[in-house]
Structure 1
């Protein structure tokens, strides 16, 4: 067994130094996923849907686990599908806990099974993409309600955030949040919970609603984007250094985090492929980045009323701009752009059904449309074969 010269202390120093990123790169890269992290967390906490202490404590534990298990900047993100349903008013606080715990149990069971990769492919990619796009539309509707009170403030914010398409490394989301907190009260009206459409926390939590509205739309996205694609992205970016980042291990750590922490108020979390790419793009290369994020989230969890007070300063229109940014991230996925022409009607059917009728309807409509697509394709292939045989 090879040992790092100088003993274990020198070994940890070498790992912290990273492979080319250095300390400054890891500090910069630690904030590379804020565009995904901030909108969901700010709205959920600012609107009173979730309590800040357990939410930030959950992410602190998540990033600490990442540093210990993977020793790389593997992202810990809010689950996008569950987050979209929360912000659209589809889940109460108790139902969020149920959804997170159920997703955690399912992911742990799949991680212990050799059928994990097969399960990730049960739902066709066209239907998964349609569900994701539909949830993006749901989120965009919430964002429009929030921005509607002050478009004069929202439009410049959207213009600032759109610069990420020109300079992906720019910390535009962080800059917007800092400005909003510093000057919020003088810029516009604060976040109004009624604009979000949040589900009341007073009614009894329904495990069935948690499963239908939270688990069903999230599970295929997690298996595809936060397990299969995330492992592939990590291997591409970090090469042999990503030997610990396997599909089964990603499912296991996501499952454990949600099963243990969601019942205590943490936001459902996963390891998104886009977040891994974001951390890397901004310079993160070692476990220093997740350790820094774990520390910052722990401090936020221990801050008492400080974080809610700061978030309350952000005008509703700027929260809407951040949420629109997250919605576009869901809508403009690579899988949508790269989809085959015959898959796009399936994506559209699933997306529109999800937007208008909910995730369960979107899943059912998407599967039905995919069955029709496959039948038409096979019929066309059979006709082509018959024509060739008749022409001989």
Structure 2
């Protein structure tokens, strides 16, 4: 079996046959010359339908997630929307992790629900509650983020897959926080993997994108049809940027994980900090599950301030090396207040996050500099 880092550099990325270029070309074109009516070269006619640069990225993503097909989109939410409108119909139901990303919750509750698709927020660590929430005649999807955003809960993918498949339901896993380097949900029984490629796959805070990778070829065909018909495809330059970044995903994730582990351990000892949420800590409620299904614990750390929301806001404002900004997964460290920023759309809902919570995206800087910045921000 070819190793992950080898696949990341080579899967779908043979040297260009025309020139020998070792980096796949960037095909900035909308249309393609046909050799007579319907005489397509390589199946290309229009770049919404297919583009060689996007195809190369999709091949690489499928290889890294060990799926049968990868599909690249203009954003993570575009990928989610295409998936849900492909597999759901009015009257269907989604079982949604009780601490899902605010944008996912907004898409399901405010865009799909008026269309007739309902949802049930459930603690995915409570398997009995998940079983009770799944109605075989209407539930089409169990939607799982693991680790979750921003509470860093870890769900047992294999156990959820067993529950889903017993009722003919799809298990969808948002693998954005872990990346395929640390976790491969399809190998554990998931049906679809979702990524915001904006995050660790892109890794440099310079591209917005999303992806789906599937285990079943028939579902892959259906999604590819809707990808073209709905049109929220990844552009060639965006695809090229993500493809470039995949080559260093493994080495970046090693550094993100090492730095985040140090930061989490340091925060545990700080007198102003309450809970530290990081699956690599033995104290984490899901540490054993994380250790079983992940090969590392990632670069995301959340923590709660004993003094409450105002203290959390002050830490975000005082941080200097940690940049106050939304998003995550870039080489630079970021800090944010989820309650008022990334998860504001979940306010007042069952998915509302604590107001005293701070989320860190720990970058690949020298970790001693990161600790010094947190020290002064928490002073």
TM over 0.5: no
Higher share of residues assigned strand? 2
TM-score band (shorter)? Answer: under 0.3
Query: Relative to total residues, which structure has the larger helix share, 1 or 2?
Result: 1
